[in-house]
């Protein structure tokens, strides 16, 4: 039976309350499929039982499972290529000079999903900037989804996930095969810390970042939430830091303090120079 409009509204409201995202109204059948799977997995009589539970307890482990099942967690290694080329050719060489005295660098993948983005950064550093391994180097991945974070921390990927964007040489050098899956080596996993954090809620205490990857996340929020999040990004970024957004995202008409800067085909957002502020 198709999901009734008021049931869809209930789930939509719960998702909004938990993670600040407003589900598109065309996602009714996706919601129904996910609710059915969860109801079956929980041994409930059906979707109605699950909806009754959600009606009585909008904050519970089960409601969290429902919300997590509705998040888009699509990602891949070296996604879109150009940001990583910009990192290799321009941004990291520049930051290495700027931060030479302090020898400290912090990079954040906000909305890291299953970890491919921040592991791509870690592999790029090992491959092209090994001297950074002697610095105080903080690579942080955060996501609201506990299941995504568990997968990210494990660093185990299927053949399909490996085949999306990972160069063969990197697979050979940085992964170990376990039956049909591949696990990123401990030396790379140990470079990254994964932390649960809701971008729409109050943020955890994180170090000031030199580079923030917040790609393919803002797109799910309404304008007001995007502005709120970008204002917090501004405070989390060193004044001379770099922000990467997804290809369909921009700060334009949302936050004038950010200025798009081009490194070849890659767009990076930088804070407009502010008098009196230092890196």
Ligand X SMILES: C[S@@+](CC[C@H](N)C(=O)[O-])C[C@H]1O[C@@H](n2cnc3c(N)ncnc32)[C@H](O)[C@@H]1O
Which residues would be at the binding site for ligand X (CB under 6 A)?
19-21, 71-75, 79, 111-113, 117, 143-145, 148, 198-200, 215-217, 220, 246
| Beta carbon of residue 119, minimum distance to ligand X (angstroms, whole number) | 11
Beta carbon nearer to ligand X, 79 or 99: 79
188 contacts: CB under 8 Å, gap ≥ 6: 119, 122, 123, 126, 155, 174
Measured CA to CA, the distance from residue 274 to residue 256 in angstroms comes to 13
**Residue 230 in tokens:** 């970008």
Q: Which is nearer to ligand X, 117 or 161 (CB)?
A: 117
> 215 or 238: whose CB is closer to ligand X?
215
C-beta of 63: minimal distance to ligand X in Å? Answer: 15
Tell me how far, at minimum, the Cβ of 103 lies from ligand X, in Å: 27
| Nearer to ligand X among residue 58 and residue 73 (C-beta) | 73
Residue number with CB closer to ligand X (7 or 143): 143
State the minimum distance, in angstroms, from the CB of residue 1 to ligand X.
Answer: 29
CA-CA distance, 32 to 38, in Å (whole number)? Answer: 10
**Can you tell me the distance from the alpha carbon of 34 to that of 41, in angstroms, rounded to the nearest whole number?**
11
Long-range pairs for 40-45: beta carbons < 8 A, 24 or more residues apart: none
Q: Half-sphere exposure of residue 186, counting CA atoms within 13 Å on the CB side?
A: 0
Least distance CB 97 / ligand X (angstroms): 28
DSSP per-residue string spanning 2-59: PPPHHHHHHHHHHHHHHHS----GGGHHHHHHHHHHHHHHTT-S-HHHHHHHHHH-SS
Question: In the chain, where do the E strands start and end?
Answer: 104-110, 136-143, 156-158, 175-178, 181-184, 192-196, 209-214, 237-245, 258-263, 266-271
Q: Residue 271 Cβ, how far from ligand X at the closest point, in Å? A: 21
Measured from the CB atom, is 216 or 236 closer to ligand X?
216
Nearest to 110 by CA among 241, 206, 16: 206
What whole-number distance in Å separates Cα of residue 33 and Cα of residue 228?
32
As measured in angstroms, the least distance from the Cβ of 111 to ligand X is 3
Closest to ligand X by CB, 84 or 129: 84
């Amino acid at each position: 039976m198709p999901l009734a409009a008021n049931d869809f509204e209930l789930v939509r409201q719960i998702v909004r309350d938990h993670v600040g995202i407003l589900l598109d109204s065309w996602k009714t059948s996706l919601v129904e499929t996910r609710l059915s799977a969860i109801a079956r997995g929980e041994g409930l009589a059906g979707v109605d039982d699950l909806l009754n539970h959600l009606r009585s307890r909008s904050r519970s482990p089960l409601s969290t499972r429902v919300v997590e099942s509705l998040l888009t967690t699509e990602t891949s290694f070296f996604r879109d290529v150009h940001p990583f080329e910009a990192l290799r050719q321009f941004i990291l060489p520049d930051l290495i000079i700027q931060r030479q005295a302090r020898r400290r660098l912090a990079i954040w993948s906000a909305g890291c999903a299953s970890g491919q983005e921040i592991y791509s950064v870690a592999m790029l550093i090992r491959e092209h900037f090994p001297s950074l391994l002697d610095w105080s180097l903080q690579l942080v991945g955060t996501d609201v989804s506990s299941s995504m974070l568990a997968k990210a921390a494990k660093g185990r990927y299927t053949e399909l996930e490996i085949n999306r964007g990972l160069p063969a040489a990197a697979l050979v050098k940085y992964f170990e095969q376990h039956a049909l899956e591949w696990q990123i080596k401990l030396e790379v996993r140990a470079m990254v810390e994964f932390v649960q954090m809701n971008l729409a809620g109050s943020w955890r205490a994180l170090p000031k970042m030199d580079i923030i990857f917040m790609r393919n996340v803002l797109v799910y929020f309404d304008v007001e939430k995007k502005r709120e999040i970008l204002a917090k990004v501004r405070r989390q970024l060193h004044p001379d830091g770099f922000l990467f957004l997804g290809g369909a995202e921009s700060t334009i008409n949302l936050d004038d303090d950010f200025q798009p800067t081009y490194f070849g085909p890659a767009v990076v957002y930088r804070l407009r120079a502010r008098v009196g502020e230092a890196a």
